[in-house]
Amino acid sequence: MSKAGLFGTALFAAALTCGCAGPAGGPEADAAVNAAAVSAAPAVVAPAGAAGTSAGSTGAPAERGNARYGIGPEVVTVTSVTDGDTFRVGDRRIRVIGIDSCEAATVGGQQATAAARRVLSGATVTLTREPGVDLDRYGREVRYVGTSAGDLGRLMVPGDHTGVYRGGNNAAASYLAGLTALDAGARGCGASTTSEPTPATRQKAPQAAPRTEEPRTTAPRTTAPRQAVQAPPASSGGAYYKNCSAARAAGAAPLYRGQPGYAAKLDRDDDGVACEG
């Protein structure tokens, strides 16, 4: 028998009970009728996906990976990726806060750039700002970056091409602690993919035979004092390396800001680490 037939039979039985009991049945009879109607009524099943929900869904919007950090959320679309920790939104340059990828000219830098492009190319992301932190010395906007796959810093730092940034204009201490826990260890940037120019070796001109001078009869001329040779650019601790090749040959690379031999010209991305490749 169908559910509709069961429902009609229940109502008929309840009506008979009420009619037999008469007015003396009172509330008990009404209760019996109501109970029979509720138990016999067919259950209503909502279709899957009704009202914009699905099985197991709470109806709450999905959180982006950086929802816990930063202020002033801004949704933007990435237009290009520069390297593992820098990308563009139109004319704006965005520096990912809290991480430091290998320089783009190294093997590790190429790996970091490729990893960032897989997540960011043409993607819509959410930028938030750490209170008190805005631009770095190059004019790049320092931001937390939330993607559909999660927080970008947390996605990048487990790779050996990206480490935790320890310089100024940085993220919250709790965020850096989380990155440190995910960091697999020291970065492995590898060799540079562009060789540094080797200075040409000068060939000495053939020397002429010395001339035999006759004894001077006049007073010797006064020779003007030579100008002092200009000292090399100052570097931390007094040590000096002409280039990264010299630093590596001396076994001093990488050089950290404040250590002997560190110089700003050797630190191409100004992240406090020179000759890191």
Classified by CATH at the fold level, domain 71-182 comes out as: OB fold (Dihydrolipoamide Acetyltransferase, E2P) (2.40.50)
Interatomic CA distance for residues 106 and 244, integer angstroms: 13
What's the pLDDT tens digit per position in 57-68?
Answer: 333 333 444 447
pLDDT per residue of the chain (277 residues) written in tens, 0 to 9: 554 454 455 544 544 444 444 444 444 444 443 444 334 333 333 333 333 333 333 333 334 444 479 999 999 999 999 999 999 999 999 999 999 999 999 999 999 999 999 999 999 999 999 999 999 999 999 999 999 999 999 999 999 999 999 898 899 999 999 999 999 877 889 887 765 544 444 455 556 666 666 666 666 666 666 655 454 555 555 688 888 888 888 878 888 888 888 888 888 788 888 887 6
Check: CB of residue 158 under 8 Å from CB of residue 181: no
| CA pair distance 41, 34, nearest whole angstrom | 11
What helix, strand, coil percent values describe the chain, rounded to 5? 30, 15, 55
Token output for 245: 């090749």
**Every domain range in the chain assigned CATH 2.40.50.90:** 71-182
Backbone angles phi, psi at 114, to 5 degrees: -65, -40
User: pLDDT tens digit string along 11-46?
Assistant: 445 444 444 444 444 444 444 434 443 343 333 333
Residues whose CB is less than 8 angstroms from the CB of residue 92 and which lie 6 or more positions away in sequence, other chains included = 141
